[in-house]
Structure 1
Amino acid sequence: MYKGTSFVKRTRGNKIDIQMWVKPEGKDGLLFWVGKEQHSAFSDFLSVGFVDSLLQFRYNLGSGEVTISYNATNFFDGGWHFIRMQRDKQDGYLLVDNQYVVEGSSPGVFVSLNTDKKVYIGGMPDIVHHTRRRFKNGFKGCITDVTLGTDMKLDLINEADVGQNVWQCS
């Protein structure tokens, strides 16, 4: 969990650009979550994770949710894979291994993501409850080079406020 950093501040607003490298070992698992602690069906959130082998980029800006999915069958080959998620107002883009692009757009008129001051990477307490059953498990595998935009790289270990079941990857 990361809170109160400039990294967290850049996850809110009208635009976001998240990049990371992953080497998944499980076909289900939360990679990234930012949202409201107290939530309802229309609470703002943004998430990325695997659900039944599909990579899902999901967000709600307050007027309805969009799910942008990529058939992730090639993710489970034991290698590293590049993921980039971008949101510009209502429009979202998911780029995988610099070659596959999937697009979607959230419904309604809202364009800004309004969240609490916490970002979760790889999992969170009570995932099923906090994600409203969108995700059931934390991520199993390796995550590295998490970057916002092209310039703000997160030091996953040293900048974390809290972490569990975290090890160095090879």
Structure 2
Amino acid sequence: MSKRGQTTNHFEIRFRATAPNGVLVWLNKGTSVSRDYLALTINGGFVELSFNLGTQQSMLIIKSKVRVDDGQWHTLVVHRRKRLGVLRVDTERPVKGIAERGATTLNTNGKLWIGGSPKMPDGLPHAYYQGFHGCIDSVQVENRDLNLVTQGDAPLIRFCDEMR
């Protein structure tokens, strides 16, 4: 669903997490954190937005102040416009961060991974190598609903009521 060469990204995800670490969304190009990527993860119970537009020397991490590994439903809204990233969980005040000067476009291979990816580059925090534990109720990408059953890898999808 994602396009290559994006100057903006917008995600809305309704989820409940049952573990303190795991990947919600992963987009990338190449095999290095110094190349273009965008990650939405749970690290230590808090949502993180991290991205590199291919020019950053250090990792940009924008971290929520709301703990989400409590098994309750949460709504995550993430918007990136060029170098600016904005993250909001539930009704918290948006948390913002800005990437280093240089590129303004996220260039990926166009594959959007939900819940983890089999090939993550070296150099990321430990939590980024964990698959998501919990339930994802809905995902919107660029204000369009993503049907996880028809647009996902069906053999890998388990419904929340099957996870007891």
TM-score, normalization by structure 2: 0.87
Q: Pick the aligned partner of 2:21 from 18, 25, 28.
A: 28
What's the CA shift for 1:8? 1.9
Q: Which runs of 4+ in 1 moved over 4 A?
A: none
What's the CA shift for 1:51? 1.3
User: What is the aligned partner in structure 1 of residue 100 from structure 2?
Assistant: 107
Does residue 169 of the first structure (1) align with residue 163 of the second (2)?
A: no
What's the CA shift for 1:160? 1.2
What's the CA shift for 1:156? 0.7
Give the partner amino acid of 1:167: R
Percent identity over paired residues: 27
How many residues are matched?
157
Give the partner amino acid of 1:56: E
What's the CA shift for 1:40? 2.5
> Which 5+ residue runs of structure 2 have no aligned equivalent?
none
RMSD: 1.8
User: What is the aligned partner in structure 1 of residue 64 from structure 2?
Assistant: 70
1:108-145 CA distances to partner (integer Å, 9 max, x unpaired)?
21100000121100011144xx3633312000001122
> Structure 1 pair 27/95, CA: closer, same or farther in 2 (3 Å)?
same
Does residue 56 of the first structure (1) align with residue 41 of the second (2)?
A: no
Determine the C-alpha separation between the residues in 2 that align with 1:131 and 1:85. Answer: 24
> Structure 1 pair 12/95, CA: closer, same or farther in 2 (3 Å)?
farther
User: What secondary structure, in the 3-state scheme, does the structure 2 residue paired with 1:86 have?
Assistant: strand
Q: Retained in 2: the 8 A contact 1:54–1:71? A: yes
Determine the C-alpha separation between the residues in 1 that align with 2:147 and 2:92. Answer: 26
User: What is the aligned partner in structure 1 of residue 74 from structure 2?
Assistant: 81
Q: Retained in 1: the 8 A contact 2:12–2:139? A: yes
1:78-127 CA distances to partner (integer Å, 9 max, x unpaired)?
21100011001000100110333100000021100000121100011144
